[in-house]
């Protein structure tokens, strides 16, 4: 007598279901990280202003090259300019060293205590 061997069906359906599940997954959209806004640090302070010639005396905390974009911000002042004309002791300078008071030609009126930022 021969014994009947029953064959068990293979579990192909499980593999198909995994593939089906993988295909039906929705793409996860990552939200952009909302960080703290960058706080600008002042690179100088206006110490004096000559109204007739529109020159501000600025004491820089960091070295600044001629042609650098600067932002002057104060209680009633807020504008962006390029430092094209800079002088120290009535002589033009290409780079203002840190800690020195440099005369900078400005297009508008500024006030003592206005802060100077590096603009981008």
Nearest 5°: the CA angle 74, 77, 83 is 95
- Please identify, in words, the CATH class of the domain defined by 45-118: mainly beta
Q: What is the average pLDDT across 14-19?
A: 55
Does the pTM of the predicted model rise above 0.85? no
Closest C-alpha to 60, from 21, 98, 30: 98
Q: What is the pLDDT of residue 28?
A: 74
45-97 per-position pLDDT tens digit: 999 999 999 999 999 999 999 999 999 999 999 999 999 999 999 999 999 99
CA 77 to the chain's CA centroid: 21
Q: What is the average pLDDT across 20-28?
A: 63
Q: What percent of the chain has pLDDT over 70?
A: 76
For the chain, what percentages of helix, strand and coil (3-state, to nearest 5) are there?
10, 35, 55
The C-alpha atoms of residue 88 and residue 86 are separated, in whole angstroms, by 7
CB 118 within 8 A of CB 48: no
Q: Map out the domains of the chain as residue ranges.
A: 45-118
């Amino acid at each position: 007598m021969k014994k009947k061997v029953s064959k068990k069906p293979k579990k192909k359906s499980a593999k198909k279901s995994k593939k089906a599940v993988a295909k039906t997954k929705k793409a996860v959209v990552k939200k952009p990280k909302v960080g703290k806004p960058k706080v600008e640090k002042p690179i100088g302070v206006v110490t004096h202003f000559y109204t007739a010639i529109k020159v501000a005396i600025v004491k820089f905390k960091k070295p600044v090259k001629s042609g650098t974009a600067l932002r002057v911000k104060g209680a009633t002042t807020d504008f962006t300019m390029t430092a094209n004309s800079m002088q120290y002791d009535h002589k033009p300078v290409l780079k203002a060293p840190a800690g020195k008071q440099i005369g900078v030609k400005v297009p508008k009126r500024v006030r003592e205590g206005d802060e100077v930022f590096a603009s981008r």
